[in-house]
Chain A
Amino acid sequence: MFDDDINDLYQELILDHNAHPHNYGELKCANHQARGHNPLCGDDVEIFLLIKNDCIEDIRFTGQGCAISKSSASMMTDELKGKSLAEVQAIFHIFHELLTAEDSSKLDINALGKASVFSGVKQFPMRVKCATLAWHTLIAALNDKNNAVTTE
């Protein structure tokens, strides 16, 4: 329908998570949370974490935004639930490098699980911030940063 690279961006998996996001909604028992905002496009996400024994026991999100930001938040919550904080930091690093580093060929993208689908976003520099917003917000939640994260 569209060219290959745009189909890379809007893959079935991304469209599915956009239409039916996983782990969407507030987490009442959260003990960490943070809000992220992209002032240029208005994408807005709030991440809720329940951390016990240095492990993400539960994670949910709310907010509004484009398909890339919403599906990225959805897949991130899927992948990180049950992971230790050390694993989370490592996975964040890989995701961030995948989208921003010049050479990402040596990254272990298997560690990202489904979220590796976002490798195509690199071809769309204006959209990288959409995919990384939820992840930066996650880190802010872990660090208990009360100021909203902003991509700018």
Chain B
Amino acid sequence: MKDIRSEFTALSQLIYGKPLVYLDNAATSQKPKSVIDAMRCFYEEHCANVHRGVHRLSELATVHFEKAREKVKNFINASSVQEIIFTKGTTDGINLVASTYGRQNICAGDEIIVSQMEHHSNIVPWQMLAQEKGAILRVAPIDDEGAFLFDAFSALLNAKTKIVAITHVSNALGTVTPLKKIIEASHACGAVVVVDGAQAVPHCAVDVTNLDCDFYAFSAHKMYGPTGTGVLYGKKKWLESMPPYQGGGDMIASVTFEKTTYAKPPAKFEAGTPNIAGVIGLGAAIDFMQRVGVQNIAFVENDLLQYASIAVEAVPGLRKIGTAKHKASVLSFVLKHVHPHDISSLLDRQGVAIRAGHLCAQPVMQRFQVPALCRASFAVYNTKEEVDVLVKALIKVSEVF
């Protein structure tokens, strides 16, 4: 593990004179040297635009860019590179589906189901679509542990359900949803399933073919890659029949003032110059995860999560929020009489970085009747010693108030 840590330059710095304990990985992970080097190499050695130049550098840039698409395809076990669309991130991917597939297929009176623990990015695009079309947004509930209530969800499914938009792993609670069952049940009543995989891909092996999901969106920056880059996987049959997302260069077959014909997927959904360096960085991040081993990453993080879940019980007045049986990487909590922002400010001065706030999941705050949460989230480079520092600092906080 020491070797892995040494690949992350940012982790060795001091914050206010204390060693950094970075536990905000669900917001964004730190980046290994190999990712930063891959991006630097692109800018220093083969920077050119992709898919258009007939010169050496453009060819090289295109090769590296498309190699990353191949890596993504293999990483999530899609059946073809045509099913891999590069986006700005998870939010962009979900909005793409809502504005294309959604606009094309949702009519007045249709129903869209989201869960109670969605990130705002998997609520708001569907709300906007429902408003525009006169469709209805239904909410699948969770229990007091933060577990997905499958039976209650099943009861919401009916012939009018056209889209089920569901997270794979909750960013606020860490709950892993029973995705395969959800997808099977949704398909049985004719709905397509859009998965927010932002918090899952960094922590567990994802196989979109085995899941049989229709769309799966995730971000590079939560899986050791750069910001501003993400992936939308979509089944080929949907991508082919969907209208384009944005118009512009790269997404066309031919343009005249009378008529434009569109390129085939994925180009159809990638108007404009993409984030080439970002995509190359994502490819390097996948290489990093595969080198360490996705199973090993999951093992290390689960071990940390178990350890931390028990260790924080030593903090007076601490209440864990999100205690479902199947969880990944996230430990959320509140302290009696202390607001999460005060906790976060006090921890910060101890070098400990956590997230405090509504975590872009206000319905989760409402469900648990808290104004905000503290969230510690783990990556493969974190250690039990760091958890100990967190717990010690939390005990200090509880003594101040």
Contact = CB atoms under 8 A, between A and B. Distances in A.
A66 B341 contact: yes
Interface string B327-345: 0000000000111111001
B345 A127 contact: yes
Given A19-B337, A42-B365, A1 B342 contact: no
B293 interface: no
B401 interface: yes
Contacts of B396: 1-2
Nearest to B370: A42
B137 to A, nearest CB: 21
B401 A67 contact: yes
A80 interface: no
* Chain B facing A: main interface SS: mixed
Contact of A65 (B339, B345, B358, B365): B339
Greatest chain A CB density within 10 A among B337, B341, B365, B372 is at: B341
B371 A64 contact: yes
A140 B356 CA distance: 28
A130 interface: yes
Interface string B4-21: 000000000000100000
A3 interface: yes
B349 interface: yes
B172 to A, nearest CB: 13
Contacts of A86: none
Contact of A2 (B337, B358, B371, B400): B400
Contacts of A40: 357
A85 B370 CA distance: 37
Given A68-B342, A127-B345, A10 B371 contact: no
A6 B401 CA distance: 13
Contact of B349 (A5, A18, A43): A5
Nearest to B356: A41
A42 B399 contact: no
Interface string B389-401: 0000000100111
Given A1-B396, A66-B339, A9 B345 contact: yes
Interface residues of B, number: 22
B271 interface: no
B339 A6 contact: no
B346 A10 contact: yes
A15 interface: yes
B349 A2 contact: yes
Contacts of B372: 41-42
Interface in A16-40: 18-19, 40
A108 B372 CA distance: 36
Interface string A60-79: 00001111101000000000
- List the 9 closest A-B pairs by CB distance, nearest first: A66-B339, A66-B341, A6-B349, A67-B342, A66-B342, A42-B371, A42-B372, A42-B358, A41-B357
Interface of B: 16, 337-342, 345-346, 349-350, 356-358, 362, 365, 371-372, 396, 399-401
30 contacts: A1-B399, A1-B400, A2-B346, A2-B350, A3-B349, A5-B349, A6-B345, A6-B346, A6-B349, A10-B342, A10-B346, A15-B400, A15-B401, A41-B341, A41-B356, A41-B358, A42-B358, A42-B362, A42-B371, A43-B341, A44-B371, A65-B339, A65-B371, A66-B339, A66-B340, A66-B341, A67-B338, A67-B342, A68-B341, A70-B339
Interface of A: 1-3, 5-6, 9-10, 15, 18-19, 40-44, 64-68, 70, 124, 126-127, 130
